[in-house]
Amino acid sequence: MPTTKPDSAQVHALSLHFVLLKSVQPLPLHWLNHSELQWLHGKSAKRTQSFVWSRALLRQLCCQLLNVTQQQVVISLPAEQKPELWVAGTKYHCSVSHSKDMVAVVLSSIGAVGLDVEYICPQRDKQPYATLYPALRNYCVSDQQFYQRWTALEATLKLSGGDLFALLAQPEPELAPELKCWQQLGYQFCVASQQHLTSLQQQQVLQLP
């Protein structure tokens, strides 16, 4: 049986779970609580899909790593602030991102964290970005360069807050002290932290129990 207190010893510095959605994949609504199900009323199909999967992934990740029940995982409802996560009364840090068919969540045991995921589109015309935004001016030569820079900016914002366009307007904006960027399955990932990233466990989830 799950313990009443989270077992934080099982958590890596960062634990990241992601899922590639399929059109026929049923929504894991059983992972949501009553308030979250109520919040879905009137939302678009796309918003519903990203909300349900991000909540379900994050709650399942907490249950798996912290040995708690899903009822002990409380996630604040969407607002302008980043989500707050409480597990059996203990506050944890998390971040959520989604792009095209990808939904990803990260759970941190070392403090605040920011996550951004972007679908890599080879057909994207990057030159308008170089012209419009000083922060991207020298980063539009290749897809790898462009998406690594973009996700680093977004992950930094999710970590520290602020305005995206204000950041893009700076030729050399201050990024997070610690960034980990990589490409996987046609997507660019970036995780931002104030702390040194000693370990990052990642897992693709094929289905939820």
Per-residue model confidence as pLDDT tens for the chain (209 residues): 344 455 544 455 789 999 999 877 899 999 999 999 999 999 999 999 999 999 999 999 999 999 999 999 999 998 767 889 999 999 999 999 999 999 999 999 889 999 999 999 999 999 999 999 999 999 999 999 999 999 999 999 999 999 999 999 999 999 999 999 999 999 999 999 999 888 889 999 988 88
Backbone angles phi, psi at 7, to 5 degrees: -95, 85
The H or E element containing residue 37 is helix 34-39
Instruction: Please give the model's pTM, rounded to 2 decimal places.
Output: 0.90
Distance of CA 198 to the CA centre of its chain: 19
Q: Please give the Cα distance from 34 to 32 (Å, whole number).
A: 7
For the chain, the structural domain boundaries read 1-112+197-209, 113-193
**Could you tell me the CATH superfamily of domain 1-112+197-209?**
4'-phosphopantetheinyl transferase domain (3.90.470.20)
Residue 67 zone, left/alpha/beta (φ > 0; ψ -120 to 50; rest): left
Roughly how many angstroms between the first and final C-alpha of the chain, as a whole number? 16
Distance of CA 76 to the CA centre of its chain: 15
Strands 14-20 and 200-204, by their bridges, are parallel
